[in-house]
Structure formats: structure tokens, C-alpha cells
Amino acid sequence: MAVQGYDEELLSEREYVDGLYARLDAERAQAKRRYSAALRGNGLSPMDRDVEVRTLATEVKRLDVADNKLCFGRLDTVTGEHAYIGRIGLLDADDDYEPVLLDWRAPASRAFYVATAATPENMRRRRQFFTRGRQLVEFTDEVFGRPGAGERGDAALLAAVNAPRGEGMRDIVATIQAEQDEIIRLDHAGVLVIEGGPGTGKTVVALHRVAYLLYTQREQIQRHGVLVVGPNSAFLNHIGRVLPSLGESDVVFTTTGDLVPGLHVTAEDAPEAARLKGSLKILDVLAAAVADRQRLQREPLTIELADVTVRIDAETAQWAIQEARESGLPHNEARRVFREIIEWVLTERAIARIGKGWLTREDREAWEQLRGDVVAELADNRDYVAALDELWPILTPRELLSSLYSSTERLCAAGADETLWRAEGDAWTVSDVPLLDELVDLLGAHETKDDSAERERRAHAEYAAGVMDLMTGREDSMDDEDHLYATDLLYGEDLADRFIERDTRELAERAAADRDWTYRHVVVDEAQELSEMDWRVLMRRCPGKSCTVVGDLAQRRSAAGARSWDTMLAPYVPGRWAYRSLSVNYRTPAEIMGVAAALLAEFAPGVRPPESVRASGVRPWSRRVEEDELSSAIEEFVREEAAREGTSVVIGPADVPGAVAASETKGLEFDAVLVVEPERILADGSRGAAELYVALTRATQRLGVLHRGPLPRALAGLDEVVSGAV
């Protein structure tokens, strides 16, 4: 395209983009006006008002996030028609609501990402925009068929991968590649596994898949939301902007350590303990630990009542335990059965002794009256309550597990070895989370006064909701004996206001605080680290088994993690999980990936490294330092990188000043990375090799290595430099 022709086209495209922003501003203003009116009530019932407020709040958010890169390209068909592709869809209200901007997730937008010269999808040209704020700066054209002069088809992608990294992950909505788009739009209702080496974009592809599913299945997904599980809080902070930037906020971000609300992980298990806790074999240990607390006493327990003394003997306790267990109820709920058996035996014995000589079973009224008196006396008797607590105590998951870990006797009784013993039973680890979650179901609820009040409140709410259902047109569902009186109509709305507590929190906030919340879709990142027990927790939270699983088996560091996807997934979705792989590395330049690939060949020789899409022209380097030089060498790296644009990190063992562990950088990316003492990282066997592989592949531009001992053989490809030559 000639310079003059390009300038004219650029001016025309700028006018079009300016028009899109004007339309966006108008829609945003209208949505905010409607939102304000809804907050004031606008003549709606309280329930309808809540629905309207939430719907409009979502719309306002959708329009607010569209400001950045609203439109990022244009598609021209072979017939001369064209369509603009953008972050959201916009319609022309003055032209029968014709689309002036297509949402990137719409079926008609697919060709923008997948059309190639070999398969042009009936397209003639793909035009990609480069913007700064709201200003269109330039564009590039990729012509399918016979290319024109000056074509720069991959300019947008290369600009994105070479750009300095900021504080968080950016969306790739403008530069999605064909293999990524295929996965994002894949029509699969079960579990989808996306595997790829470092830098292949598997995480951001999974997040864009969530945005796509929310676009195509919003009604099914929105009410329950989406759960995204990542390896650590730094990773979640890194990826947390992607979905909001795509207009999606009904998403809960959490780590496996946060799946039990209110729990704080403060320790880390040794590999053997983590392996045992992560195995399904631990289920037998937990069941045995619960059964161990349902104990037979060695001696009869004496209960002194006002008129008689009764005893709980071993035979009675054994009968009560058997009946309670056979009820099939969780431990705490089965205590009611246990108590009823004990109570029946004790009252029968007490009545027989108190009424000896004057009371017979034929006198049922007197017998039952006396039974009521004895039951009431037992309920107030400290010894009786203490006996119940000794034989069948009310337990919480944390109490049970803490007391199990800190007692070799209880561990032995539960069939576990001393690998699980620790002095501080409540020093929780990530591996404890699925066990605590499992115990919630094994133990069941126990009712307090607060629970009773909550149950009463819910009953009132259900009644009020029933009245409101009748008021809103559901009279046809009434049975013959149901009647709707005028007073119901008159006071129904007031009743609802009194008893239905309106939860105004966002869905994500409500879901994160509720252990029993179930999600319509779950995304699991760094999934190779999850144990069999972790998968039980997640599948419990996703009854529909709709998941996007992201990982790389070569990067597994957990002793309890996945060695194959089928082993972990087949028990839950046999025949319903699909596998897709990503093979192109968009993050790591070829110079750095060559070094990482040499390490990969040593500890995972069957794994093929991803192919880097670019070279940076900067060779990764290593430098040997003495112990007294290490700190100054690290400071030198930090100082030099601070003067550059972008981000940097120092990765090394825990005792290296200023360094973070490789596991804390999983899923993250930095312009520059300094790896300190790789020989010590490697000393941790296969786990250490995986951690070093992670460390080497975090850099998008520059990689340096400081070592005190001999440089590991796998890193021989690094350029050795001397002090001051970096």
C-alpha cells in the first residue's frame, strides 16, 4: 500500500474507532442512568429491584473495561464486506441494531484468529490495529491469497511478546493464535486438559476459554460462577486482571490452601507426608480416626440421679455405637442416635427401680410421665453429659485432625505411621486442606444456638418466599388445600422484607465464603501439583464436572502430584476428558529455551520442549562467585535492572538474600531473571530439577546465573563471564 493510500486509510480507520468510542460512551452513560434509577427503586418490588440492580451493575462493569483496546482489528471477506472485531460487541441503534463491532467471542469473529494463507476462511484480509489509549496509532494488513508488498502479518504478536512486562498478566484477545483459538472455542462439556511447556500461553488460553464460555453459556454459568485455582497468591494476583479486562467478574480466584474458608496455611510437609496425605489411602486413616473417637469405656460410667443411680456399661455402649454407625449419618449427626439408645436404656432401668412395687408397664401414662422426668433430669446432669462427650464427642475437622497428628497413640489406632506426627497439630499445610474438607462430610454439622436461630430464620424466609411466589403468578401450582388470602397479598411483600435477608455481596464474594458453594465451571492451573485428594475437593465443588485443567507434567514438584492425567481424572470423568497441547513458546526467547531444554533432556528425556517463536539476540550468562561476592553480585543485578523498563526477579534457595523460591514464581514472567546457586536447587533430586526448569523459563528477555559451586552440566550452554562483564 502506498504511503498516501496508507495515510488515507489510517485517517478513515481513526474516524471509525472514534465513532465506536462515542457509541461506547453513550451506552455507558445510559447504563449508569438506568443503574441509578434502579437503586432508587423505580417502582419495582424489592426482589425485582435487586435483580435489576445486579444486572445493570454487570452491564456497567462490562462497558467500563472496554475502554482499553476497544477495537483491535478488521476482517475483509472475499466479497468485499468487512467487520470490526473488538473487546465487546456494539450495535447501531439507528440502523436496526446492526453490529458495528463484533465481540471477539462471537462465531463471526473466529476467522480473525484462525484464517491463514492456506485456509483463509473466505477472508481476503486481516487488519490489526495498534492503539495508544483511545488513539489508533497504526495498522498492519495480512492479505490472504497472493500477499501484497510490505505485509507484516505477525507484527501484532511480535510486538506483544517483546513488550516489557508489567505488574500483571495481560489478555491476548488481540493476538490469539490459531492453535490457541481452537482450544478457547472447543465444544467439550467435560474436562479439558491443556498441557504445554513454559511460555506456551496455556494459562491465558484457559482464562480466555472461561470468558468464551461465559459469553456462549452465560445463563447456565452466571448463577453459580467460575472457580479458578492457582498455585499461590502471587500467581493469582498476576492473572487476576485478565478476566475483568474481558468484562467477566463472576469468578472466584483461590489457591488449594484457601479452599477451606478461614484456614491459614503456615507450614510445609516433608515429601513423604505430602505423598501419604495426597493419596486416597488417607481416606481409610480418616475414617479410622473418626471411629477411634467412638469409644467403649473400660469401666461402667456411673450417673447419680435424684432417686436412683444408673450406669452406662460396655454392652449398652456397644449397642448404641452399632446403631449409630448403622444409621449412615455423619459422626456428629449420628450422636443423636447414640444418645437416644443410651437414654432409652438408662430411663428404662431408672423407671424400673423408681417404680418398683407400684408401677407397671400397663400404666402407660404414669410410665411415660416418669420417663419424661428422668429424661429431663439426665439432660441437666453433668456426669451424663460428660459421659456422652467421652463416648461420642462432638468433633470439628480441625480438632480431630490436630489431635490425630499430635498423638502417636491415635495415629497408631487409625492405622497411620509416625510420618504424619508433628508436635504442633494445628500447624496446617496445603496437604491438610483436602483432609479437613473431607472431614466436614465425615463429621457432619453440629447444632448450636446460633444454628437453631439460623434454621428458624430460613424457615421464615421459605414461607415468605412461598407467599411471594403466589403473588407473582404461581397460583396454578397450589394444591386444593392451599389458599391465598387478601392478607397474604397485602402483607406478603412486607413479610419478605422482614425475613429474607438480601445478600448484596457480589457472587464471587459470597461463593468464596461458602464451603458448600458449587460452581458451574472450574479452572485448575499448575494442575500437575494436585494430589488425588485435591481432586476430590474440586470435583465436590463442581458437580457438573466441567473443568479446564492447565499444567505441564514436566514441571511437577509435588511428591503427591500427577504423573498422568488419566490417573487423576478417569475416576471422575471416565471417557469425558479431552486433551489438547500447546507447542509454541511465546514467552521464552530461543537463546534461553535452549539452556532450559538441555536441563529438560536430563530429568525428563521423553518430553519435547516447546519451540520458541522468537530470538532476543541476548545470550544468557553465568558467573562464578565466592561467598563474600554473592550479595554484591545480586545487588549489582538488581541495580542494573531497576534502571531498565520492565520487571525482574532473583530466584534461589531460601537463605539467599533477596531471592524467592522457584515454586513462588510458577506461572509468572519477568523481563530479567537471575538464578542463584542452581547447583543447590538441583540437589533436591527430581523435585529440584523441576524447580530449576521453572526458574530458567521465567525470563522473557534476559537470564543470568550466579553459582558458587561447579556449574551443573545441564547449564553448560551458558556464556561464562567475569565480574563486571555482565
**What's the rounded Cα separation, in Å, for the pair 481 and 79?**
67
202: annotated binding-site residue?
Answer: yes
**What's the rounded Cα separation, in Å, for the pair 398 and 388?**
20
199: annotated binding-site residue?
Answer: yes
244: annotated binding-site residue?
Answer: no
**What's the rounded Cα separation, in Å, for the pair 83 and 75?**
5
**What's the rounded Cα separation, in Å, for the pair 599 and 716?**
10
200: annotated binding-site residue?
Answer: yes
Question: What residue type is assigned to position 69 of the chain?
Answer: K
675: β partners:
651, 705
**What's the rounded Cα separation, in Å, for the pair 87 and 62?**
10
At 253 the three-state DSSP class reads: strand
List C-alpha distances in Å: 337 to 293, 319, 376, 421: 16, 11, 17, 33
203: annotated binding-site residue?
Answer: yes
How many of the other CB atoms lie within 10 Å of CB of 66?
24
Q: Which three cell numbers stand for residue 512?
A: 468464596
Sheet containing 521-524: give its strands across: 251-255, 226-230, 521-524, 547-551, 191-196, 577-582
Are the CB atoms for 552 and 193 separated by under 8 Å?
A: no
Question: What residue type is assigned to position 319 of the chain?
Answer: W
**What's the rounded Cα separation, in Å, for the pair 56 and 42?**
13
Q: How many residues does the chain have?
A: 726
Q: Return the H-helix or E-strand segment holding 99.
A: strand 98-103
Would you give the DSSP letter of residue 185? T
Residue 99, Cβ density class (10 Å: 0-12 exposed, 13-18 middle, ≥19 buried): middle
> Which residues, in sequence order, are CB contacts of 156 under 8 Å at separation 6+?
72, 128, 130, 140, 174, 175
Q: DSSP assignment of 647-673, as one string?
A: -EEEE--TTSTT-B-GGGGTT--EEEE
254: annotated binding-site residue?
Answer: no
**What's the rounded Cα separation, in Å, for the pair 296 and 289?**
15
Helical pair 331-354 and 364-379, crossing angle rounded to 10 deg: 130
Q: Which three cell numbers stand for residue 47?
A: 426482589
Residue by residue, what is the 3-state secondary structure of 257-299?
A: HHCCCCCCCCCCCCHHHHHHHHCCCHHHHHHHHHHHCCCCCCC
Residue keyed to cell 497468591: 233
Q: DSSP assignment of 504-535, as one string?
A: -S-HHHHHHT-TT---SEEEESSGGG--HHHH
649: β partners:
673
Alpha helix locations (H) across 541-649?
Answer: 565-569, 590-603, 630-642
Residues marked as binding for ATP?
196-203
Residues marked as binding?
196-203
